[in-house]
Amino acid sequence: MNFQDNAEEAAFREEVRTFIKTEIKPDEQASELAERGMYRGAFERLKGLREKLATRGWIAAAWPKEYGGAGLDVMRQFIMNEEFAQNRIPPVGGMGTSMVGPTIITHGNEEQKKEHLSRILSGDVQWCQGFSEPGSGSDLASLQTRAVKDGDDYVINGQKIWTSGASHAHWMFMMARTDPDAPKHKGISYFLLDMKSPGVEVRPLTNLANQDMFNEVFFTDVRVPAKNIVGELNRGWYVGTTTLDFERSSIGSAVGLKLQLDGLVKYAREHQTDGTSRTAQLGSVKTELVDRYVEASVAKLMSYRVVTMQAKGLIPNHEASMTKLFASELTQRISRTGMKVLGLYGQLWGDGAPMKGRYESSYMTSLSSTIAGGTSEIQRNIIASRGLGLPRD
């Protein structure tokens, strides 16, 4: 890996920094809302930021210019994401720009591009993902939601779960089984579904932190036009893997972990009991904080490795699994360290609590980080089989 920007990359990094300094006032409240899964509140506070980014094509910076993006290469997109994360500027495009938009550009037809891409960029339409089901999470290809052809439509019946943002999304990109007799990785098609369609029912799921970050969605005789299939019929699994391939470096997460630690150290130094700082009171906390800082640096290096591979035209596989596995488990360790630093105050939540109750929330929400996006067990299997060449059991 080359840790230094070349001349063009350095110039672009300076351009991004100047833009942030002169044009953007970071909205930390929006960052906190997004971090806590309160997407609607975050989106409403980010309208001004969206408008400023749109003038440069930076809402979807890696999209081709003909579709409203900036046509940035992998490294410049990475640089922009890194600088934005460092300044606590949350992403404004959501799943529309990062997942379904690039999928439509890659696999969609011209009619689908004209209908959806501009509305994704304008923010008029928010998207959610309909992949996981109660019995199909890590083994996603076993999904059972059915789509049956009926004239010019497909009639969908089934259920999706862990659907982030479904309660306010306008559209869903989803996979459903269109050929039940085909092998499980085949016979699946990729649909674009209007969430206002009759027969769609969204039920919010409240997590341990009292947040409605995700939902379960039920489909009862939901009619979807056949024209809303992206790519080839019965080959939606391969379209879906395209969706999951985008933006795998996770640099924003790595930088975010480092910023969390900066805040935690600042709190430990400044808050005292009987004239003694928290770090002096709890000698083990010093060691833990150092460990977490080293681990956060490792997470950042892993992100650098992934983006370096992408820049060379390679496809990160087990490398992306390593990054996801390490970062998700580190998120849990940082939360536990935060609770130790705050002591009993860590159980408080709300704006009046120390650090606005961040660690009361993160301690509980981080429990799911090793499940979401592919469980740690699945990631270890990928690393073992594809990275180390170990045989399957």
Q: Which residues are catalytic?
A: 247
Which residues, in sequence order, are CB contacts of 172 under 8 Å at separation 6+? Answer: 127, 128, 129, 130, 163, 166, 192, 193, 195, 217
Ramachandran class of 96: left when φ > 0, alpha when ψ lies in -120 to 50, beta otherwise:
alpha
Cross-strand partners of 203: 216
Can you tell me the distance from the alpha carbon of 267 to that of 269, in angstroms, rounded to the nearest whole number? 5
Q: Is-contact 85 296, C-beta < 8 A?
A: no
Identify the residue whose tokens are 């395209």. Answer: 242
- Count of other CB atoms within 10 angstroms of residue 359: 30
Q: Is-contact 376 363, C-beta < 8 A?
A: no
CB-neighbour burial class of residue 164 (10 A; exposed 0-12, middle 13-18, buried 19+): middle
* Amino acid (1-letter code) at residue 56: R
CB-neighbour burial class of residue 130 (10 A; exposed 0-12, middle 13-18, buried 19+): buried
Q: Long-range contacts of range 277-283, CB-CB < 8 Å, 24 or more positions apart?
A: 278/341, 278/343, 282/340, 282/341
217-228: burial string, b at 16+ Cβ within 10 Å, e else = bbbeebebeeeb
Distance spanning both ends of the chain, measured CA to CA = 34
Q: What are phi and psi of 373, to 5 degrees?
A: 70, 20
- Residue 196's nearest CA partner among 175, 215, 224 is 224
Can you tell me the distance from the alpha carbon of 93 to that of 65, in angstroms, rounded to the nearest whole number? 16
What dihedral angle (degrees, nearest 10) is formed by the CA atoms of 297, 301, 302, 307?
A: 140
Name the token pair of 269: 């130094």
